[in-house]
Amino acid sequence: DAGVIQSPRHEVTEMGQEVTLRCKPISGHNSLFWYRQTMMRGLELLIYFNNNVPIDDSGMPEDRFSAKMPNASFSTLKIQPSEPRDSAVYFCASSRDRDSPLHFGNGTRLTVT
């Protein structure tokens, strides 16, 4: 089991650029979560998918953020345009079902200058 795989591990971009973060959940897991971690706000849930369908996106901060899950093995989180305050570590996590613990990827550290 390779675990949850995120790419890239680090992303440095300039303000105004588009950023796409990628996630491959654990095979057989049907729930996928995107979290953002900052010193100021801790771990925040951005969006949650179940069976590839977005269930709760109330944590997505603005329209600049969008997430997709075109199939069970791939999800993207896109920020367009990016701003310096988006700098954070973005985690993807998956779980087998709603009663199961989350398994996290190693995160993408995003720096927007």
Partner 1 sequence: GEDVEQSLFLSVREGDSSVINCTYTDSSSTYLYWYKQEPGAGLQLLTYIFSNMDMKQDQRLTVLLNKKDKHLSLRIADTQTGDSAIYFCAESIGSGGSYIPTFGRGTSLIVHP
In the complex, what is the shortest distance from the CB of residue 46 to partner 1, in angstroms, rounded to a whole number?
12
In the complex, what is the shortest distance from the CB of residue 72 to partner 1, in angstroms, rounded to a whole number?
17
Radius of gyration of the chain (CA): 13
Q: Which C-beta is closer to partner 1: that of 69 or that of 107?
A: 107
In the complex, what is the shortest distance from the CB of residue 88 to partner 1, in angstroms, rounded to a whole number?
14
Contact in structure between 34 and 90 (CB atoms under 8 Å): yes
CA dist 44 and 47 (Å) reads 9
User: Could you list the residues that contact partner 1 (CB under 8 A)?
Assistant: 4, 31, 33, 42-43, 45, 48, 50, 55-56, 91, 93, 98-99, 101-107
Q: Which C-beta is closer to partner 1: that of 33 or that of 65?
A: 33
CA dist 45 and 66 (Å) reads 13
In the complex, what is the shortest distance from the CB of residue 19 to partner 1, in angstroms, rounded to a whole number?
19
CB atoms within 10 A of CB 52: 15
Q: Which C-beta is closer to partner 1: that of 5 or that of 72?
A: 5
